[in-house]
Amino acid sequence: MSHDVFNASATATWIECSWSALNAVPDAPKKRDTVEAAERGTARHDDMEAGEVPDVEAFIQQLENPPSTVREFRVRLTDNCGGTVDIFSHGWRNAENIATIIDGKFGKWDVPAKHNKQLLTYSASLLAHSSADWWRLVIYQPNGLDEDPWKQWVASRAEVEEHKRRVLIAINDRGPPKPGPHCRWCNAFQACPAMTTDAGFVMGAMVRPIESLTTQELVRLLRLIRALGDAKTAYEEALETHFKLGRVADGAGLKPQRAYRAFNDEQQAAEYGYQHYGAKGVRPLTPAQLEKLGTAGKAYTSVASHRPEGKQKAWY
C-alpha cells in the first residue's frame, strides 16, 4: 500500500505548510527509542484490530450497532490524501446521526481529541459516506500523562466541512515553506530552504547580548535549537555505533556513563523500608500510578489529589 503524500496523521503540520509534505525526507534520522516505541505502537494497533484490548472492547459495547463498527478502515479524501481509521462506527446509543472515530495512541506525548486535525481529516474523508450531523472524535491513550486514557470531543458537520475546505486548499498549495510552531517533527526540515540562512543567523544571534534580541529573533532561535535538539540523540546513537565498530575520531570516543545503585528487588526494598521506617521509608506513588492499581486507588485519588496551576511558560 502506497503512503499518502498528505497523510492524515501529519495533518497538523502540512495543513499549515504543504511544502513539508511534498518534500518530506524519506529517511530522516529517528532516535532508537522512537523507532522501538513505533514498533510497540504498531503491535498494540494490531491488538486493537483483533479485538484484544479490553478497554477498547468495553467502549465499543456502548455503541448501539456493533456490526456497523469497522476496524483499520482505509479512507481517502483525494488521491494523495488519506489514512487508516483505527475504529469507525455510525450511530451512538440511540442517536443515529452521530459518527464515532476512535484512534489509539500508545506513546506518552499528550494527544488531545479537541480539534484533533488527524481525526478531522478522517471525518472529512467520510462525509460522502455518512449523513451524520455530529462527529465524535475519540483518542484512547493508555500510556499518556492524563489519569483517564479516554479523551473525547464532538464536532458538528459544519466544522468537519470547514476542515475539509482547509485541507483541500492546503493540498493544492504549491507555495514556499511557511515556518511556524508546526515545524517541530517536520519530515522536510533537513531540506527546507527556509533553513538555508539559519546557520549564519544562529551564530550571529548567539554572540549578541540576549536583551538585544527581538521577540521574533528569540522565537526563531529557540525553534532552531529545539529542532537540532530533537535530532541530536539520533546522531549520537549513530556515532556510538561507529565507535563500537572500531572507527576513530580525534578528541572523541566511548566512555561509560555514570551509573547509580539500584535495588536487586524493588518490591522487597519497599517492604523493608516500610517495616523499619514506616511511610517515610517508601516513596509514594503518583496519583496516576495509584489510580491504575485498582478501584480503591481511584477512589482515594479522587478526594486526596489536586492539580496545581501550571507555571506560565513561553511556547513556540
Query: Is residue 51 left, alpha or beta, with left meaning phi > 0 and alpha meaning psi from -120 to 50?
Result: left
Question: Is residue 96 predicted with pLDDT exceeding 80?
Answer: no
SS3 call for 293: coil
Quick one: what percent of the chain has pLDDT higher than 90? 59
**pTM, to two decimals:** 0.78
Domain ranges for the chain, please list them.
Answer: 6-171, 197-249, 266-304
Could you give the CA distance from residue 19 to residue 22 in angstroms, rounded to a whole number? 5
Q: Is the dihedral of CA 208, 209, 215, 219 positive or negative?
A: positive
Q: Read off the amino acid at residue 202.
A: V
Per-residue pLDDT tens digits for 26-35: 877 788 888 8
**Cβ-proximal residues to 105 (8 Å cutoff; 6+ apart), any chain:** 41, 111, 139, 140, 141, 144
Q: Which residues share a beta bridge with 138? A: 102, 152
Per-residue pLDDT tens digits for 36-70: 888 999 999 999 999 999 999 999 888 765 557 88
**Stretch 210-222: mean pLDDT:** 94
pLDDT at 84: 95
**Stretch 154-160: mean pLDDT:** 97
pLDDT at 10: 95
Query: Is residue 260 left, alpha or beta, with left meaning phi > 0 and alpha meaning psi from -120 to 50?
Result: beta
* Percent of the chain that is helix, strand, coil (3-state, to 5): 45, 15, 40
Question: Is residue 243 predicted with pLDDT exceeding 60?
Answer: yes
**Stretch 148-158: mean pLDDT:** 95
**Stretch 129-137: mean pLDDT:** 92
Per-residue pLDDT tens digits for 187-200: 898 888 887 778 78
Q: Are 193 and 170 within 8 A, CB to CB?
A: no
DSSP state of 128: G
Q: Read off the amino acid at residue 75.
A: V
Quick one: what percent of the chain has pLDDT higher than 70? 96
Per-residue pLDDT tens digits for 248-282: 999 999 999 888 999 999 999 999 999 999 989 89
pLDDT at 1: 44
219 band by pLDDT with thresholds 50, 70 and 90: very high
Type and span of the H or E element at 205: helix 198-206
CATH number 3.90.320 given to 6-171: yes
Could you give the CA distance from residue 9 to residue 90 in angstroms, rounded to a whole number? 22
pLDDT at 91: 55
Q: In 3D, which of 130, 183, 218, 159 has the Cα closest to residue 17? A: 183
